[in-house]
Structure 1
Amino acid sequence: MAKFRSRRQTGLPFVMGVLNVTPDSFSDGGDFIDQEAAVARGLEMLANGADVIDVGGESTRPGASPVTDKEEMRRVLPVIKALRERTAARISIDTFKPVVARAAVDAGADIWNDVMALRADGAVETAAELGVPVIMMHMSGTPQTMQANPQYDDVVSEVCDFLTERADIAMAKGVSADSIWLDPGIGFGKSLDHNLALMHDLDQVIGLGYPVLFGASRKRFIAAIDDGAAEMERLGGSLAAALRAAAVGAAMVRVHDVRMTVQALKVQAAIRKGRA
């Protein structure tokens, strides 16, 4: 998995395609709850240039209701198994629950994307046992509480301190440094100004020394800047954020609109080089 950590020499970050197998995710909830539709969507994103398909069975949008382990696994495991039968591409499981992560890896997932940064009981130990790359994200509070007036003295330094601490804890419990990725958690317990500060100073997160996943696709901060743009009207803002992340060295961007993101990243890289 070493080459998965970064491919900045090409000028292009990896692209992670979002596949929510849920009825209530903020953008595509309900669109891919059917297994066949979900698998078709995953394969479509791979054909459009995605490097990773991120399968999630529990919404983490603001105010989302939790689901049981059993229900989450019922949603994601058949999709992961079916995708693994059809492709050798990387599949990640978007969950904070160790039991779901373990079952997903057994089903064919090879990355654990954890919005709780391995804070659930037994999560660090499970990550060490599984040995797969693990993405640890910053979130203030829980999905039910995170947007209830989030407060920071210095959001960039506090996010960096949190992520550094979580990485140190993970390594102390046996997680390989080469397996650790970080995510500043745009939109997770942050106001508009907090999100903008993190995007402006994203190089500080990248400077922590771990590959960084950046996810801002279709998020509400875009509507706050562009006067209420609906979820399906946020492609421009999503691309702007992804290009910013790529420009300062993010190793991967997590997006809904794979084809347009890949195109934008290729054009940006060609402009930077001055040739195709």
Structure 2
Amino acid sequence: MMKQNLGDQSRYRLNCAGAMLDLSARPAIMGIVNLTPDSFFDGGSYGSAGEAVQLERALESAMAMARAGAEIIDVGGESTRPGSAPVSAEEEIRRTIPFIELLRRQSDVLISIDTWKSEVAAKALRAGVNIVNDISGFSFDPKMPGVCARHHCGVVLMHTPAKPDALRWSYNTSAETEEVMNRVTTFLSRSIAIAREHGIESIIVDPGLGFGKTVEENYRLLARLDELHKLGCPVLAGISRKSFLGQAIRRTGEETPPPSERLLATISANTIALMNGADILRVHDVDAAIQARAVVLATRRASD
């Protein structure tokens, strides 16, 4: 079983806007709450397009995730699926901030905001968020590093080659010729350098599985996830119900299974990610991820 060499343990104990996230003993589970009408799996779960977010239903879901054992709740107000239409910062704020304020009043669970917009991040941090989950790795909004630094929050820096509306589903080809691990580590190294130039130390990296990669490239990253620890930061894996899983389980002559039929594949992939060194799993199905983590940790203890 692969197990990352933690090296400097302090890099796995993160101060996230005054709350500690300790990844040195075991991986953490990040539960997803998408307050969007169009996310690929759970879009519309808490209100359709044009409707106000149904706060109580979203809160019930988040609290259930926290009770199940999720250490982080990741809140999103804009879909990042390939080809998704962008929304304004004002609309993201309208969707997310009332919910964040309500969740913070009800729970001490760590909260992350899934946004690449500094204006949204600033309001979310003032509302009680601990972590900014930036799919652009600080490459879309030059003001984002300064906002994160001022609030002393944790950051997730993800690799993506373009904004979501410019990405397209791609299963067979890639516009990039450089080997995918080199591409991802070069990008993330730049992101980390920007963060540290601004005095940000609580850094998590995410290879961006499903974002502008071919199916083969996604599985190559999953197999080599532990190599990302060379960057000196904890590693997040966001695999939950993504399309490259559907491609693997598709039966010959049949359509690719939709996200609703990818839970078993997700559990398998999450288990592989943990065995290959993931420090955080970002998931829709917290109970399943908790059980996968328990089995991996039990196996790890038995093999020590």
Q: TM-score, normalised by structure 1?
A: 0.94
The answer to whether residue 187 in structure 2 is matched with residue 166 in structure 1 is no
| Residue of structure 2 equivalent to 1:134 | 155
3-state SS of paired residue (2:205): strand
| Residue of structure 1 equivalent to 2:272 | 244
Stretches of 4+ aligned residues off by more than 6 angstroms: none
Letter in 1 for 2:234: P
- Deviation per CA, 1:109-132: give whole Å up to 9, x if none: 111000011121311221211210
CA–CA distance in structure 2, aligned partners of residues 185 and 52 of structure 1: 18
The structural deviation recorded for 1:146 is 2.1
CA–CA distance in structure 2, aligned partners of residues 209 and 246 of structure 1: 17
| Residue of structure 2 equivalent to 1:193 | 216
1:1-276 matches, within 5 Å, as: 1-2=14-15, 4-7=21-24, 9=25, 12-33=26-47, 34-119=54-139, 120-147=141-168, 150-152=174-176, 153-172=178-197, 174-177=198-201, 179-227=202-250, 228-274=256-302
The structural deviation recorded for 1:5 is 5.0
The structural deviation recorded for 1:6 is 1.6
| Stretch deviating more after TM superposition (116-125 or 179-188) | 116-125
CA–CA distance in structure 2, aligned partners of residues 150 and 121 of structure 1: 27
Percent of pairs identical after alignment? 38
Residue 217 of structure 1 contacts residue 255 of structure 1 at CA under 8 Å; is this kept in 2? yes
| Residue of structure 1 equivalent to 2:51 | none
Q: TM-score, normalised by structure 2?
A: 0.85
CA–CA distance in structure 1, aligned partners of residues 241 and 225 of structure 2: 19
* 1:184 to 1:246, Cα distance in 2 relative to 1, 3 A: same
CA–CA distance in structure 1, aligned partners of residues 145 and 299 of structure 2: 41
CA–CA distance in structure 2, aligned partners of residues 46 and 66 of structure 1: 29
The structural deviation recorded for 1:66 is 0.6
Which structure 2 residue ranges, 5 or more long, are not aligned?
A: 1-13, 48-53, 251-255
- Aligned pair count reads 270
3-state SS of paired residue (2:246): helix
3-state SS of paired residue (1:207): helix
- What is the RMSD of the two structures over their aligned residues, measured on CA atoms? 1.5
Letter in 2 for 1:145: A
Which structure 1 residue ranges, 5 or more long, are not aligned?
A: none
